[in-house]
């Protein structure tokens, strides 16, 4: 049988194919696609073998990352990943595991998720955790839904310094519900405390804050937590897990619920995903937590075992009583987070956090030396900080990208009157040489 049976490219064969599906021409076939979106030519190369195609794709992918030095964060961070993370998470019993509804054949997965919950509780200083969520943004939304159920109130107050992507997901979740979302504009890159005081009333279920916030500023919400509790409202803290090696945990600040994105815990950037979201809370709120919760038990012989507990499964049959309609989770990514935290331990996490802070402080000092550049000093920072430039940040970032440097995140897209502002992120992977290169390139760009 020759190739023409598999590659109908002659006019007669094309007409025959079109007639089978009931259209008269290729133009009619693609009529639903606007003209301006249609490719004029695909310009495809000659056919290649599998290994030739792989080599070509690797070369093309290499063009995207070759020589690029990232100083961008905003929720996704370029951290080192210990080799043990991929080695253990790639074992077939984890890599191919299905959802653990049947404990008698899922003890390995259940124990891993139980240990993951324990790690998140220790990290956040809170009592209970579930077995992960989709990502940090949906974790924020799910925590707001928790607060609404717990308090029976209908208003959520959100600090404008919370990651704008998380705020957008939160508003999307609540869009069709009888819930008011009150967004507080930032004040000098910090929580506007006087504005918050004016927004608090008897209808507020919770206040969602972030630490460090999107501008990189670090805050302490301990006194604020007491004020909220006196008003019957909850405090939800969105946190960057690596920073908790140094900063006060949400539990120490008095937060009722803590959420965050686990990408920085052993998960690669991967063009934006997948990642996992974590959520932890005080024990009194466990019945309102979404998703899976793994518990420890004993069997008839007194042997230790693990089961899904408090709710039969995350796909609730009685939807009106559901804490969530989550139908899956990011169990494998959460497992990577557990292995990452276990491989570092408490001391290793502290050392990692210090490296991030110290390198960011060096970068702040170097950039502050550049004429026309101002490093905002409204608060302490961890590994992200905001700088003001003498020219629009978007133009500067675009120009430096052509030189292989992703200098930061311009803020104009997310905040008014921020055309000159840019957030710079420095992780432990950034060397002194790379930071100096950023400083020299930025100075040269501003002086050109």
Mean pLDDT of the chain: 91
DSSP at 212: S
The average pLDDT across 381-397 equals 97
| CATH 3.90.1150.10-classified regions of the chain | 69-79+352-447
| CATH 3.40.640.10-classified regions of the chain | 83-341
The number of angstroms, rounded, from the C-alpha of 144 to the middle of its chain's C-alpha atoms is 17
Residue 354 has pLDDT above 50, yes or no: yes
Q: How far apart are alpha carbons 253 and 8 in whole angstroms?
A: 68
Q: How far apart are alpha carbons 161 and 170 in whole angstroms?
A: 14
Q: Where is pLDDT greater, at 320 or 384?
A: 384
Position 317 confidence tier, pLDDT thresholds 50, 70, 90: low
SS3 label, residue 426: coil
Beta bridge mates, 155: 180, 204
Give me the CATH topology for the region 83-341: 3.40.640
> Which CATH code for domain 69-79+352-447?
3.90.1150.10
Residue 4 has pLDDT above 60, yes or no: no
Residue 27 has pLDDT above 60, yes or no: yes
Q: Where are the beta strands (DSSP E) in 57-100?
A: 69-70
Angle (CA) 405-406-412 rounded to 5° is 140
φ and ψ at residue 225, rounded to 5 degrees: -60, -40
> How far apart, in Å, are the Cα atoms of 7 and each of 2, 4, 17, 44?
9, 5, 11, 15
Q: Give the pLDDT confidence of 110-159 residue by residue, as tens digits.
A: 999 999 999 999 999 999 999 889 999 999 999 999 999 999 999 999 99
Position 15 confidence tier, pLDDT thresholds 50, 70, 90: confident
Closest CA to 212 of 162, 269, 139: 162
Position 65 confidence tier, pLDDT thresholds 50, 70, 90: low
> What is the predicted pLDDT for the residue at 3?
41
> What is the predicted pLDDT for the residue at 115?
97
> What is the predicted pLDDT for the residue at 236?
98
* Dihedral, 77, 83, 84, 88 alpha carbons, nearest 10: 90
SS3 label, residue 392: coil
For 28, how many CA atoms within 13 A lie in the half-sphere containing its CB?
8
The average pLDDT across 208-232 equals 97
The whole model's pTM is what?
0.85
Q: How far apart are alpha carbons 282 and 119 in whole angstroms?
A: 15
Cβ neighbours for 437, distance < 8 A, ≥ 6 positions apart? 69, 405
Residue 427 has pLDDT above 90, yes or no: yes
Q: How far apart are alpha carbons 263 and 163 in whole angstroms?
A: 15
Position 64 confidence tier, pLDDT thresholds 50, 70, 90: low
- Determine contact, residues 65/78, Cβ cutoff 8 Å: no
């Amino acid at each position: 049988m020759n190739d023409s049976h598999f590659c109908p490219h002659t006019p007669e064969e094309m007409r025959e194919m079109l007639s089978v599906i009931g259209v008269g021409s290729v133009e009619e076939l693609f009529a639903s696609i606007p003209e301006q979106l249609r490719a004029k030519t695909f310009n495809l190369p000659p056919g290649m073998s599998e290994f030739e195609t792989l080599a070509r794709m690797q070369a093309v992918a290499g063009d995207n990352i070759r020589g690029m030095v990232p100083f961008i964060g905003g929720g996704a961070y370029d951290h080192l990943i210990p080799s043990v993370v991929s080695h253990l998470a790639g074992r077939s019993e984890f890599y191919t595991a299905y959802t653990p509804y049947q404990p008698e054949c899922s003890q390995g997965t259940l124990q891993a998720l139980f240990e993951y919950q324990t790690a998140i509780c220790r990290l956040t200083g809170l009592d209970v955790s579930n077995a992960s969520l989709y990502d940090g943004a949906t974790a924020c939304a799910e925590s707001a839904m928790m607060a609404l159920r717990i308090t029976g109130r209908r208003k959520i107050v959100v600090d404008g310094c919370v990651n704008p992507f998380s705020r957008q997901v939160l508003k999307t979740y609540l869009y069709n519900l009888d819930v008011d979302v009150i967004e507080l504009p930032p004040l000098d890159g910090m929580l506007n405390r006087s504005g918050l005081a004016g927004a608090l009333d008897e209808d507020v279920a919770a206040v969602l804050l972030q630490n460090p916030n999107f501008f990189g500023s670090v805050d302490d919400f301990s006194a604020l937590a007491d004020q909220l509790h006196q008003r019957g409202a909850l405090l939800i803290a969105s946190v960057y897990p690596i920073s908790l090696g140094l900063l006060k945990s949400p539990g120490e600040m008095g937060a009722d619920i803590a959420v965050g994105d686990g990408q920085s815990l052993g998960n690669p950037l991967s063009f934006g995903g997948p990642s996992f979201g974590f959520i932890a809370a005080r024990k009194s709120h466990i019945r309102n937590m979404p998703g899976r919760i793994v518990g420890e038990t004993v069997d008839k012989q007194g042997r230790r075992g693990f089961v899904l507990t408090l709710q039969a499964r995350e796909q609730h049959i009685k939807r009106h009583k559901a804490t969530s309609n989550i139908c899956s989770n990011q169990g494998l990514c959460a497992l990577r987070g557990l292995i990452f935290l276990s491989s570092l331990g408490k001391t290793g996490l502290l050392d990692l956090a210090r490296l991030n802070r110290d390198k960011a402080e060096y970068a702040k000092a170097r950039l502050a030396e550049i004429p026309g550049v101002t490093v905002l000093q409204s608060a302490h920072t961890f590994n992200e900080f905001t700088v003001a430039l003498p020219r629009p940040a978007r133009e500067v970032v675009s120009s430096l990208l052509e030189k292989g440097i992703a200098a930061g995140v311009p803020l104009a897209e997310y905040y008014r009157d921020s055309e000159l502002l840019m957030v710079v992120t420095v992780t432990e992977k950034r060397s002194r040489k790379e930071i100096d290169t950023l400083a020299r390139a930025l100075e040269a760009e501003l002086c050109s």
